Amino acid sequence: MFRALRKLGHMPALPVEESEQHRSGPLLDHLARRMRLRSESVLAPLGLRPRHLVALTVLRDSDGISQQGLASTLQIDGTNVVGLLNDLEAEGLVERRRSPEDRRRHVVSLTAAGAKRLREAECALAVAEDEVLGALGPGERDTLYELLRRATSGRPMSCVEASGDEPDPIC
């Protein structure tokens, strides 16, 4: 915005017009924490924990994903995915089938029960969400949801291709 103006004027001592470079990372962290705390209590009766919800939500959108695909989008170690899926499969919310083309793979998908439980959980989450997002109006919450959905549905971005993207941190 104002950056273009800086080149004219001799700029005597004007020591850098404060970058106003506020990042959303910390806010995201903060908000997610508050949400997670609230969610735990309303989710407990359903036998689920926040991270199960995350997994189920991801599974709804990318059904038939492999376990390491899941590990990569969830950004957690493969060994932990096993435990996570064990929980979910034990309750019949998720299904592991061997992939036909590569029988080493497990194709993970949401069961009908899983989809149902997810909907119930989302319904229960409305309470938590109301408390945490209380400062936002309904329209804003929709916008937020949409932005989050778009942001998370992006590719996991492998480091290989990530290397050339950004010029460099010059700031």
Partner DNA sequence: CAGATCGTTTGTGTAGCGCCAACCATTTAT
Partner DNA sequence: ATAAATGGTTGGCGCTACACAAACGATCTG
Contact by Cβ (8 Å): 77, 91: no
| Least spacing, CB of residue 106 vs a copy of itself, in Å | 21
Query: Closer CB to a copy of itself, residue 100 or residue 134?
Result: 134
86 binds DNA, rule: CB under 7 A? yes
3-state secondary structure of 94: strand
What tokens appear for 79 in the block? 């060994």
79 binds DNA, rule: CB under 7 A? yes
| Least spacing, CB of residue 110 vs a copy of itself, in Å | 13
| DSSP structure class, residue 133 | T
106 binds DNA, rule: CB under 7 A? yes
Q: Which entry of DNA, a copy of itself, none binds 30, CB below 5 to 8 A by partner kind? A: a copy of itself
Map the footprint of a copy of itself across residues 77-106, applying CB under 8 A: none
**Taking contact as CB under 8 A, which single stretch among the options 50-58, 80-88, 94-102, 105-113 is the one that binds a copy of itself?**
50-58
- Which of 21, 77, 101, 103: binder of a copy of itself (CB under 8 A)? 21
The closest alpha carbon to 117, from 37, 41, 57, belongs to 57
68 binds DNA, rule: CB under 7 A? yes
- Amino acid present at 81: V
7 CB-near residues (< 8 Å, 6+ apart): none
Name the strand (E) or helix (H) holding 109.
Answer: strand 106-110
Query: Closer CB to a copy of itself, residue 11 or residue 123?
Result: 123
For the beta sheet containing 106-110, the strands, ordered from the edge strand earlier in sequence to the opposite edge, are 65-66, 106-110, 94-98
- Which of 66, 91, 109, 115: binder of DNA (CB under 7 A)? 66
What are the two backbone dihedrals, phi and then psi, of residue 152, each rounded to the nearest 5 degrees? -85, -20
